């Protein structure tokens, strides 16, 4: 039995452990936007500064993802994922303190922990579930949406029901991270004791000059820019049109539910077919654009329609983005390196979104221009997605020659190119 083939019965348990960890990769971030108006009133900060608060974790996603390969070499993927849950817990508790700097510092610590988890999980999926990578990627995407939906929808009701104020309520979201650390600890310890931890990924030359890797990275970054911009500002946009804060938070949470279904179904629909992957890229861009335009034109007239459409587009987008990362790597090592590149550069691209929208709002005094700007970002997103759908692995065009003189560049290929999956993982066609 290889490390990539869990024992019968153990595979389901391992899947649950990884998905519980994945739930925490959005919870603490999604808890802030519904109480953003409260934060502005309590601290006196402007919308631009509040947007910076929403930008901090996304910047950290990018910066700390770059450090993840070195951390993997020191700790292994399993123990590093456990450490990430502990860091997320610490950052969430830190936001309980009253100085404004503690709110920013705690959010940065959370971002660092999530960055590591974001980068490690695709590699673990590739290693432990090579034959079910498509299903696991879909479930991973669903976990991200579910975590965001729960915290976005319950933060304001918990604040009102408890009367504790926004600081203690957002600190309560440390509980799921503690639970994740508890279930991860035996998994990481058992792997370490048995000597079955993930081997350090070998250094990968040529990745940063590979066109396909850049397409995957651009798609990851641009879809994340749209997602985190909407996550940060949709409740504020709706409240600006006189919608109660609790309803605005619920609507943000509601948008995740169409995303759940879309994220789960997308890998099944693609199943290795280039044409389907490209059609879904076009659908995702079109759905997001319709959602943004609807929120710009009539945000409180048909909010459920716009957020259903937007949620579907976001669900397809994130599932494709994560699927491209898993599918384009030939093995767990390549996947870990591609995940680092896509999530470091990608999230640095995405970090311009929340801050930029807040600045555009302050500049124009409304939300029409910011929503139109998000709509325009669909053009480069479409181009990147079509490029990322290419039917091959990264570095296929520049792989080294084999020692026996075969210059195909694909070990074991006997001179024939090995075809990669076309979209999120599925059967090679």
Tell me the C-alpha distance between 327 and 266, whole Å: 14
Q: How many CA atoms lie within 13 A of 211 on its CB side?
A: 10
- Torsions phi, psi of 301, nearest 5? -80, -45
Specify whether the CB–CB gap between 21 and 136 falls below 8 A: no
Tens digit of each residue's pLDDT, the chain (429 residues):
444 444 444 588 889 999 999 999 999 999 988 888 888 888 888 767 776 888 899 899 999 988 888 888 888 888 999 999 999 999 999 999 988 899 999 999 999 999 999 989 988 888 888 888 778 888 998 898 899 889 988 998 999 899 888 999 999 999 999 999 999 999 888 766 655 555 555 667 788 999 999 999 999 999 999 998 998 889 889 999 989 888 888 888 898 889 888 988 888 887 667 788 999 999 999 999 999 999 999 999 999 999 999 999 999 999 999 889 988 888 877 888 898 899 899 999 998 888 888 889 889 989 999 999 999 999 999 999 999 998 888 986 544 433 343 332 222 223 333 333 344 443 333
CA nearest neighbour of 31 among 226, 179, 182, 176: 176
Q: Alpha-carbon distance 389 to 130, whole Å? A: 20
Query: Between vectors from CA 358 to CA 352 and to CA 364, what angle results, nearest 5°?
Result: 120
How far apart, in whole angstroms, are the C-alpha atoms of residue 136 and residue 216? 19
CA separation for the pair 255, 230 (Å, rounded): 10
The CB density around residue 351, as the number of other CB atoms within 10 Å, is 26
For the 13-198+209-388 domain, the top CATH level (class) is mainly alpha
Q: Residue 414: what pLDDT? A: 31
Name the residue with tokens 């716009």.
Answer: 306
pLDDT number for residue 44: 84
Nearest-angstrom CA–CA distance, 5 and 398: 30
- pLDDT number for residue 195: 52
pLDDT of residue 307: 95
Q: Strand, helix or coil at 398?
A: coil
In the chain, what are the domain boundaries?
13-198+209-388
Q: pLDDT at position 424, please? A: 42
Neighbouring CB atoms inside 10 A of 70's CB total 11
* SS3 state of residue 411: coil
């Amino acid at each position: 039995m290889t490390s990539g083939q869990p024992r019968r019965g153990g595979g389901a348990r391992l899947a649950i452990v990884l998905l519980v960890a994945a739930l925490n990769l959005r919870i603490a971030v999604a808890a802030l936007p519904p109480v953003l108006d409260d934060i502005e009133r309590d601290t006196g900060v402007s919308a631009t500064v509040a947007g910076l608060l929403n930008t901090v974790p996304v910047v950290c996603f990018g910066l700390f993802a770059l450090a993840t390969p070195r951390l993997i070499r020191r700790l292994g993927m399993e123990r590093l994922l456990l450490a990430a849950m502990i860091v997320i817990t610490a950052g969430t508790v830190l936001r309980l303190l009253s100085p404004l700097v503690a709110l920013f510092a705690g959010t940065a610590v959370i971002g660092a922990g999530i960055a590591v988890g974001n980068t490690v999980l695709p590699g673990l999926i590739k290693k432990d579930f090579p034959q079910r990578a498509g299903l696991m990627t879909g479930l991973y995407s669903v976990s991200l949406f579910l975590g965001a939906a729960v915290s976005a929808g319950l933060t304001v009701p918990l604040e009102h029901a408890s009367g504790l104020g926004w600081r203690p309520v957002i600190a309560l979201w440390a509980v799921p991270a503690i639970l994740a650390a508890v279930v991860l600890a035996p998994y990481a310890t058992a792997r370490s004791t048995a000597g079955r931890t993930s081997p350090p990924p070998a250094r990968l030359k040529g990745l940063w000059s590979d066109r396909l890797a850049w397409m995957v990275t651009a798609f990851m970054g641009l879809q994340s820019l749209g997602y985190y911009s909407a996550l940060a500002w949709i409740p504020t946009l709706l409240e600006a049109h006189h919608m109660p804060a609790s309803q605005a938070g619920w609507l943000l949470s509601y948008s995740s539910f169409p995303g759940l279904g879309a994220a789960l179904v997308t890998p099944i629909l693609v199943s290795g077919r280039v044409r389907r992957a490209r059609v879904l890229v076009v659908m995702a861009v079109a759905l997001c654009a319709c959602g943004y335009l609807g929120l710009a034109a009539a945000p409180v007239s048909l909010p459920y329609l716009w957020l259903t459409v937007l949620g579907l587009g976001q669900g397809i987008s994130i599932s494709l983005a994560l699927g491209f990362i898993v599918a384009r790597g030939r093995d767990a090592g390549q996947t870990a390196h591609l995940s680092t590149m896509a999530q470091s550069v990608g999230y640095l691209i995405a970090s311009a979104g929340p801050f930029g929208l807040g600045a555009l709002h302050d500049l124009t005094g409304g939300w029409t221009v910011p929503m139109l700007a998000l709509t325009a970002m669909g053009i480069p997103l479409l181009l990147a997605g079509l490029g990322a759908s290419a039917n091959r692995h990264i570095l296929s065009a520049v792989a080294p020659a084999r020692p026996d003189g075969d210059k195909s560049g694909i070990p074991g290929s006997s001179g024939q190119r090995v075809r990669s999956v076309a979209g999120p993982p599925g059967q090679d066609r």
